[in-house]
Structure 1
Amino acid sequence: MPDTATVFNIAASEEVAEQGRLVVDIGSVSVGVFRFKGQVYAYRNICPHQGGPACQGRIINRVRENLNEQKMSQGLSFDKDVMHIVCPWHGLEFDVTNGIHPGDSAYKLRALEVVETDGRIHVTL
């Protein structure tokens, strides 16, 4: 890997659908690119827990427990305003917009600079 940052033209914009992903290898580095609410996000495809391919797991909306006034569970629902990536190895979830595990901010995916211009997606390594 070079000592200086390099920008890579990795895909056409339409290759990453809304609430979708694209995983690409740039040399020896695996990168996951996601689109949520029109924005693109990129992360190294390595789970901070045990090195699993986090970006290749399920993409789901955050699950919320619905509580009544007495704090008793009224069931679960999906929160359409938050999207999670779920590592396929052990189920750790990460917010797609910041790469952080919702229960422990010490666990976070390594974010990469990503820019979308002229119908192309560019990632900096």
Structure 2
Amino acid sequence: MSTKEKHRLVVCPAEEMQEGSRQLIEVNGVEIGLIRAEGVCYAFRNSCPHQGVPMLYGSVVGTMLPSDPHQYIYGNHNEIIRCPLHGWEFNLKTGKAMFSPDLSIKMYEVKEEGGEIVLYLDRAPEQVTRKEFSCILSS
């Protein structure tokens, strides 16, 4: 389905989503978290598939990549979100779990357009609530 066939929802002005910013909205009863990391906005269902823990509280990190024995290659810097409860890691670009390509979090298409952060949804957004979210993350 192309962007033109999806339902457009303006989330907030782009200046509200500075580097490291997080936003939480509820659309049709589903919580969607938004994060800006390395200049890119990501949007995902705010629920870990393991036990439903809110993913928006998780750290955004990189990870060690597959490599030869005794080689340690770090990659995917600020492209991984880690579940705050059990540490499950998901790629923010694809939603796929780092430990199993068969498991993922739902990702949503999000763009910066005309000074606004815009979310594209498969279903019409009938009920939208911007939720209070506060989180102090340590580096």
TM-score normalised by the shorter chain: which range applies?
0.7 to 0.9
Match of residue 51 from structure 1? 52
1:119 aligns with 2:120: no
Deviations 1:37-82 (A, max 9, x none): 43322111111222221232111222x2797x7x236xx6753645
Alpha carbons of structure 1 residues 40 and 49: separation in structure 2 relative to 1, 3 Å: same
Q: Give the superposed CA RMSD.
A: 2.8
What are structure 2's unaligned runs of at least 5 residues?
Answer: 122-139
TM-score, reference length from structure 1 = 0.74
Q: 2:65 and 2:42 mapped to 1: Cα distance?
A: 27
Count residues with an aligned counterpart: 117
TM-score, reference length from structure 2 = 0.67
Q: Which has the higher contact order (CA 8 A, sep 6+)?
A: 2
Alpha carbons of structure 1 residues 80 and 93: separation in structure 2 relative to 1, 3 Å: closer
Q: 1:49 and 1:121 mapped to 2: Cα distance?
A: 29
The DSSP-based 3-state class of the residue aligned with 1:55 is helix
1:36 aligns with 2:34: no
What are structure 1's unaligned runs of at least 5 residues?
Answer: none
Q: 1:6 and 1:111 mapped to 2: Cα distance?
A: 15
